[in-house]
Amino acid sequence: MPMPDIRVEKGHAEPEEVAAITAILLARAAATPEAPAHHVRHNRAGWRRLEREPGFRAPHSWR
């Protein structure tokens, strides 16, 4: 007997329930991903390089 592609790890699922989840997974896998509506590229990094920071910071300042 061949090994099934989907297996129930805990509990008991009826064949109809396994068929339903298989259909959902196959439909999700076949769907094309939607492109993001608003995609902006930033040319600068989201962090600061310490070697480019000024050497002195005021004692009352914090990050």
- What pTM does this model have? 0.43
For the record, the structure tokens of 2 come out as 């061949």
Contact at 8 Å (CB) between 6 and 21?
yes
> Considering the domain boundaries, does residue 41 fall inside one?
no
Domain presence at residue 9: yes
Per-residue pLDDT tens for 10-47?
A: 898 888 998 899 899 899 888 877 766 666 666 666 67
pLDDT band at 60 (very low <50, low <70, confident <90, very high): confident
CA 38: distance to chain centroid?
A: 18
Query: How many independent structural domains does the chain possess?
Result: 1
Contact 23, 6 (CB under 8 A): no
Q: Does residue 8 lie within any of the structural domains?
A: yes
Retrieve residue 1's tokens: 């007997």
Residue 20: what pLDDT? 92
